[in-house]
Amino acid sequence: MKFERYDISEKIKQSIVELGFNKPTDIQFKAIPSILKGEDVLAIAQTGTGKTAAFAIPIIHKLLRRNKNYNQNAIRCLVMVPTRELAEQVTKVFKQFAKYTDLIVLSMYGGVGQAEQVEELEFGVDILVTTPGRMFDLRAQGHIDISETEILVLDEADHMLALGFIRDIRDVVHHLPRKHQTLFFSATINEEIKDLAYSLVVNPIRIQISPKDPVSKNVTHALAYIEMDDKRFFLERIIKENSDKKILVFVRTKVRAERVQKAMERVGIETLAMHGGIEQENRFDILEKFRNGECNVLIATDLNARGIDISGIKIVINYDLPDVAENYVHRVGRTGRGIEKGEAISFCAEEEKSLVKEIEEFMHKEITIMPINKSEYTLTKVLAEKVDTNWQKLVSDAEKQEAEWQKKNKKKNKKK
């Protein structure tokens, strides 16, 4: 079924055509009709499947059908997300589909001054996309009134739960009208998520896409056993061999992000780094430079894994394996989005081997081992800092030299 056959506003269809969408994805096909009917929805779908559009399109349509008692200053839809970057991303999607409507969409989060956000709230907002912290602060100050909110969306609910927002989320529900629609979207599900979801929704329509394979089938996975101190050499090699591709590198901490960035800088590779210690305005600048290709390599922490929605990321490198298995899914979900193909390459040191098993159990599949023989490993370390090196030729030459050396050794042993 094509979007043109959906019973939604022509204004939305016009935006859909301009954005180049034709047929809905699985999650959109299953979620949109239920949301349009006003049903509560519990949706579990992997990253890159079009989850945001799955709720944005029907919400916009519903809000366009104003009733006579409509309060112009009411926040009619509240969308809660775990991170600032995700708030911007979701807001962008809403604005794209609401382009030809008069609906007002506002993104609100901490890390920036609140004065401008308060001013925009006073003019009236139809759809508020916000992180919990800033929303609760402004509600406590009397700037936010959700007593007439018709729709609550919890996006990436598993991450909000992990960040400890469960009590705050329950508090929000107490301030909503008794009759409202709740849409609960998550990339992963466990018992805690189920308990939270069913405590907030009423007879929900449950939608689960690819439950046995939480990662897009468009992504190939490979794992290389590399000692912790040697990872920088192999990262350098991959970047140089793929200089025309967008590469996203994940590390465990902000200190690691800065160290890896400096290591690449020493060998003449320009990278961007983004983590929780960087001011919010600078984070957006960094993402924009990565998006428009000013720099093709971004080093990030898990804080940003779900907020990076940039097309064209060809390779995701897990420089450090994630401590939590499901974060692997969110990391590699930045590539292979839609119909694009992507690669996920993980570096695994001796002390990280136990994490591999956890990740494989979570994904219900084994990760292919990327074999690195001794000569290739040594060669990568020795020559990693030499600029403009033809790595494939050097590796091939090294393998030939090793084969010749072994051949000579055999002859010597025969003579003896």
pLDDT at 234: 94
pLDDT at 252: 92
Q: Tell me which residue of 323, 315, 374, 359 sits closest to 340, measured CA to CA.
A: 315
Q: Give yes or no for a contact between 201 and 165, defined as CB atoms under 8 angstroms apart.
A: no
For the chain, what percent of residues have pLDDT higher than 90? 44
Q: What is the pLDDT of residues 32-85, one digit of tens each?
A: 999 999 999 999 876 667 889 999 999 999 999 876 566 667 899 999 998 888
On the question of pLDDT at 260 being above 70, the answer is: yes
pLDDT at 211: 47
Alpha-carbon gap, residue 71 to 92, rounded angstroms: 25
On the question of pLDDT at 122 being above 60, the answer is: yes
The mean predicted confidence, pLDDT, of the chain is 85
Q: Specify the CATH number for 3-208; select among 3.30.160.100, 3.40.50.300, 3.40.50.1980, 2.30.40.10.
A: 3.40.50.300
Alpha-carbon gap, residue 222 to 343, rounded angstroms: 8
Write out the two tokens for 321: 């394996």
C-alpha dist (Å) from residue 118 to 54, 73, 142, 144: 29, 13, 10, 9
pLDDT at 415: 55
pLDDT at 396: 57
Strands 151-155 and 77-80, sheet pairing: parallel
Write out the two tokens for 258: 């800065």
Q: How far apart are the first and last CA of the chain?
A: 77
pLDDT at 398: 52
pLDDT band at residue 124 under the 50/70/90 scheme: confident
121 or 48: which leads in pLDDT: 121
| 108-112, 192-196, 236-240: range with highest mean pLDDT | 236-240
Alpha-carbon gap, residue 174 to 167, rounded angstroms: 11
Give mean pLDDT, residues 17-22: 90
Q: Give yes or no for a contact between 250 and 316, defined as CB atoms under 8 angstroms apart.
A: yes
Alpha-carbon gap, residue 108 to 115, rounded angstroms: 11
Q: Tell me which residue of 388, 318, 402, 311 sits closest to 356, measured CA to CA.
A: 318
120-129, 229-238, 298-307: lowest mean pLDDT where? 298-307
pLDDT band at residue 201 under the 50/70/90 scheme: confident
> Cα torsion for 178, 183, 187, 190, to the nearest 10°?
40
On the question of pLDDT at 214 being above 60, the answer is: no
On the question of pLDDT at 387 being above 50, the answer is: no
Give mean pLDDT, residues 212-218: 64
Q: What is the 3-state secondary structure of the chain?
A: CCHHHCCCCHHHHHHHHHCCCCCCCHHHHHHHHHHHCCCCEEEECCCCCCHHHHHHHHHHHHHHCCCCCCCCCCCCEEEECCCHHHHHHHHHHHHHHCCCCCCCEEEECCCCCCHHHHHHHHHCCCEEEECHHHHHHHHHCCCCCCCCCCEEEEECHHHHHHCCCHHHHHHHHHCCCCCCEEEEEECCCCHHHHHHHHHHCCCCEEEECCCCCCCCCCEEEEEEECCHHHHHHHHHHHHHHCCCCEEEEECCCHHHHHHHHHHHHHCCCCCEEECCCCCHHHHHHHHHHHHCCCCCEEEECHHHCCCCCCCCEEEEEECCCCCCHHHHHHHHCCCCCCCCCEEEEEEECHHHHHHHHHHHHHHCCCCEECCCCHHHHHHHHHHCCCCCCCHHHHHHHHHHHHHHHHHHHHHHHHHC
Write out the two tokens for 300: 């990030």
pLDDT at 325: 85
Alpha-carbon gap, residue 273 to 403, rounded angstroms: 41
Alpha-carbon gap, residue 76 to 144, rounded angstroms: 12
Place of tokens 């935006």: 15
Place of tokens 């529900």: 173
CATH class of 219-386: alpha beta
pTM of the predicted model as reported, rounded to 2 decimal places: 0.68
pLDDT band at residue 407 under the 50/70/90 scheme: low
Instruction: Return left, alpha or beta for 111; rule: phi > 0 is left, psi -120 to 50 is alpha, else beta.
Output: left
On the question of pLDDT at 190 being above 80, the answer is: no
pLDDT band at residue 388 under the 50/70/90 scheme: very low
pLDDT band at residue 412 under the 50/70/90 scheme: low
pLDDT at 405: 56
pLDDT at 213: 55
Write out the two tokens for 309: 């929605």
CATH 3.40.50.300 in the chain is located at: 3-208, 219-386
On the question of pLDDT at 195 being above 70, the answer is: yes
Q: Tell me which residue of 363, 312, 34 sits closest to 187, measured CA to CA.
A: 363
For the chain, what percent of residues have pLDDT higher than 70? 86
231 or 163: which leads in pLDDT: 231
pLDDT band at residue 243 under the 50/70/90 scheme: very high
Q: Give yes or no for a contact between 315 and 287, defined as CB atoms under 8 angstroms apart.
A: no
Q: What is the pLDDT of residues 71-98, one digit of tens each?
A: 667 899 999 998 888 898 899 999 999 9
pLDDT at 217: 76
On the question of pLDDT at 393 being above 60, the answer is: no
On the question of pLDDT at 310 being above 80, the answer is: yes
